[in-house]
Structure 1
Amino acid sequence: MRFDQLQQQPLLRIASVVKRFGGFTAVDGLSLDIGAGEFFALLGPSGCGKTTLLRMLAGFETPDAGAIHLNNADIAHVPPHRRPVNMMFQNYALFPHLSVDSNIAFGLKRAGLPKAEIDTRVAEMIALVRLGGFEKRRPDQLSGGQRQRVALARSLARRPQVLLLDEPLAALDKKLREETQAELVDVQRRLGMTFVIVTHDQEEAMTLADRIGVMDKGQLVQVAPPRQLYEGPVSRWIASFVGDVNLIEGQISSREADRVTISTQAGEAIIASQAPPSASAICVAIRPEKIRLMHPEQAATAVPNTFAGELIDIGFLGGVSVYKVKLASGAVLRVASSNATRRAANGFAVGGKVSVSFAPDDVVVLDR
């Protein structure tokens, strides 16, 4: 999908929506456009308003102000059963006494579709989610991943214009969750349907979504594709919420055409390629995987952003190890490095002298 067309042709337009519960404002003047065929993720901590927004899209909550347009029609006050929108719940909400095919057919029967059409759609959904041979099993005879696929098939059977997903993978273990994420993306791509998912899992949002909207205190803080969100956070809060990051306080001491020098509170001078034009007191963000860990004899002292330090901790995480390096100033940096060999810690040991280095292009300067 071309995101430069989104503002001209959004399928779903949320305009200045407000939702209050007593004196608490759950969603505060939020505006957002979502395109046809887009997989959009709402990401944020508990209580940020993302589920409330999803429930307003589904029709289970009514906005106190603002509008929700689907295909240019305001649906903010349209009841749920009359919206071309469906919702897949976190607990799947399957009927335990009904078989797989009966669960999928339930909403179609309530909609009054002819039996022949119901049978055709159920067969299409069974094939789509790869549950052939399981049609007559009840939910308690299925694995967690299979139940998730039944719930997905039932949500899709009525062919909604938008499918809303409320943390649908939260109950699955890590391996099954990763497999199901791939299946979910595959189904969405094959159907070309608009999916909107709510999650607090950053990795899940990055894996699934074309774009991510990060929410905090009822507002959207940043909306961007996953890579842009990770590499170009617009605030200190975003940088720390999305992925692991080193944050260093400082002041801009000089600016040149493609070089900004930052004096940190700890005493180091960090070189960045760019910085906000009006910023003075700033925060430097450096992702751990952007930092190179070296033995002291490997370090080139003339290279910008090269510092000596002591290795104070090593965390082995399987594919990567996370090293904590204490610089001479006392500042501690986290460094992530892939375990490309089977040698323990790639030759590094706690208490040993090391050097770290990172490129000016990898330094993100944020206005405090």
Structure 2
Amino acid sequence: MPLLRIDGVAKRFGAVRAVDRLSLDIRRGEFFALLGPSGCGKTTLLRMLAGFETPDEGAILLGGDDIAQVLPHQRPVNMMFQNYALFPHLSVRDNIAFGLKRARMPRAEIATRVAEMVALVRLEGLEKRKPDQLSGGQRQRVALARSLARRPEILLLDEPLAALDKKLRESTQVELMELQRRLGMTFIIVTHDQEEAMTMADRIGVMDQGRLEQVATPRKLYEAPNSRWVAEFVGDINMLEGEVGPGDAGRLAIATKDAGTIVAAAPPDPVKQALVFVAIRPEKVKLSRRGPASDTAGTHTINRLEGIVIEVSYLGGFTTYKVKLDSGAVLKSSMANTARLDVDAYSVTQRVVAWFTPDDCVVLEQ
């Protein structure tokens, strides 16, 4: 039985259905991410889990008990807000202790618990400081310690790293993951940052217009999206539209409008529509001056498309290229920079061969 079961939950604000009869199971000890564009309903769902909003329909079951009508301070769930919501007039110690005092915990137990939390988030020596005397990363740790102090069964995090710079955000991601594993607690994080979700979460739920479009591990979500929308939302992708033709040995020949016939691996379920989309991630598209040595890689036919480089973006660890094919379509390629100098790089107006295997292609019907 899952720790948390969200069963057919819906929430409306006037004519807007923010969450649309959504169902989801979350396991004990899982780091789960809700990912989606602004306005997709992810924060509304999080607020219903915290008790700040009441669902119009459905049930929220925690350990088998429906908590949809339980007041926020009475449910074993705590929430860390995007702006941290620290009390500016209270010290670090008193901010962390605030919820424990409201729960009327004995003074000696409060002191012990606060000391545990300070050590847990590595704030020793800063207990007497006020929030305005702390860095952004330190304030984030105070908010995290305060959220964990009452030892909730589930910790909800509403874009907790949005205010941090890139370097600090990356190091804090690692700290949060280590902390979650050490505590064995269930974390549910809301974010619009795909890299953040892919880095931290055991599973990701992608939301759009109040509905869950797909729930999967980061790898499956990226490599095997279940729809064109998910494929285009998660990461960068090349999308070619075409009609399915005859194929053999687990392969489909797809006559695309913009790139000729593409041979793609057949999806697990039989294709029911004639019109499909072939999705290829940019890092799967290799570039070379003459193409691969042969048209086959083992038993796999290689798709070869010729064109001219029209754009080059150097991004440190890799370079992205836009190649205008002879057919007129533009294909994106992302290649690792394995040499320190640009001996393997391609320049604008250079003629290249873009190639990829059938297994690099994902066939989508919607």
* Shorter-chain TM band: over 0.9
What is the rounded CA distance, in whole Å, between the counterparts of 2:260 and 2:295 in structure 1?
A: 14
Q: Quick one: which of 334, 342, 345 aligns to 1:344?
A: 342
The alignment's TM-score, normalised by the length of structure 1, stands at 0.96
Aligned to 1:60: 52
Q: Quick one: which of 8, 11, 17 aligns to 1:25?
A: 17
| Per-residue deviation, residues 10-50 of structure 1 (Å, max 9, x unmatched) | 00000000101111110010000001000000000011000
Q: Does 1:45 align with 2:37?
A: yes
- Check 1:312–1:122 CA distance in 2 against 1; reply closer, same or farther (3 A cut): same
**Offset of 1:136 from its aligned partner?**
1.1
What is the rounded CA distance, in whole Å, between the counterparts of 1:164 and 1:188 in structure 2?
A: 12
Q: Does 1:87 align with 2:79?
A: yes
**Offset of 1:148 from its aligned partner?**
0.3
Q: Does 1:358 align with 2:362?
A: no
Q: Quick one: which of 101, 107, 110 aligns to 1:115?
A: 107
**Offset of 1:258 from its aligned partner?**
1.5
Secondary structure in 1 aligned to 2:69? coil
What is the rounded CA distance, in whole Å, between the counterparts of 2:134 and 2:126 in structure 1?
A: 8
Superposed, 1:225-264 pairs within 5 Å as 225-264=217-256
Contact 1:270 1:304 in 2 (8 A): no
Secondary structure in 2 aligned to 1:53? helix
The alignment's TM-score, normalised by the length of structure 2, stands at 0.96
Unaligned runs of at least 5 residues, structure 1 = 1-8
Aligned to 1:280: 274
What is the rounded CA distance, in whole Å, between the counterparts of 2:325 and 2:64 in structure 1?
A: 57
Secondary structure in 2 aligned to 1:107? helix
Structure 1: 4+ residue segments shifted above 4 A: none
- Check 1:345–1:157 CA distance in 2 against 1; reply closer, same or farther (3 A cut): farther
What is the rounded CA distance, in whole Å, between the counterparts of 2:154 and 2:302 in structure 1?
A: 49
Q: Supply the AA of the counterpart residue of 2:32.
A: F
Higher mean C-alpha displacement, 343-352 vs 17-26:
343-352
Superposed, 1:159-308 pairs within 5 Å as 159-275=151-267, 276-277=269-270, 278-296=272-290, 300-301=294-295, 303-308=301-306
- RMSD of aligned Cα (Å): 1.2
Aligned to 2:328: 330
Aligned to 1:127: 119
Secondary structure in 1 aligned to 2:344? helix
**Offset of 1:342 from its aligned partner?**
2.3
Aligned to 1:4: none
Contact 1:259 1:273 in 2 (8 A): yes
What is the rounded CA distance, in whole Å, between the counterparts of 2:175 and 2:292 in structure 1?
A: 45
**Offset of 1:279 from its aligned partner?**
2.8
What is the rounded CA distance, in whole Å, between the counterparts of 2:343 and 2:139 in structure 1?
A: 41
Contact 1:300 1:306 in 2 (8 A): no
Q: Does 1:106 align with 2:98?
A: yes
**Offset of 1:298 from its aligned partner?**
5.1
What is the rounded CA distance, in whole Å, between the counterparts of 2:291 and 2:60 in structure 1?
A: 61
What is the rounded CA distance, in whole Å, between the counterparts of 1:57 and 1:345 in structure 2?
A: 54
Unaligned runs of at least 5 residues, structure 2 = none
Q: Does 1:15 align with 2:13?
A: no
Q: Does 1:309 align with 2:307?
A: yes
Higher mean C-alpha displacement, 296-305 vs 342-351:
296-305
Contact 1:104 1:153 in 2 (8 A): yes
Contact 1:44 1:200 in 2 (8 A): yes
What is the rounded CA distance, in whole Å, between the counterparts of 1:134 and 1:11 in structure 2?
A: 35
Secondary structure in 2 aligned to 1:176? helix
- Check 1:338–1:297 CA distance in 2 against 1; reply closer, same or farther (3 A cut): closer
Secondary structure in 1 aligned to 2:246? strand
Q: Supply the AA of the counterpart residue of 2:360.
A: D
Q: Supply the AA of the counterpart residue of 2:18.
A: A
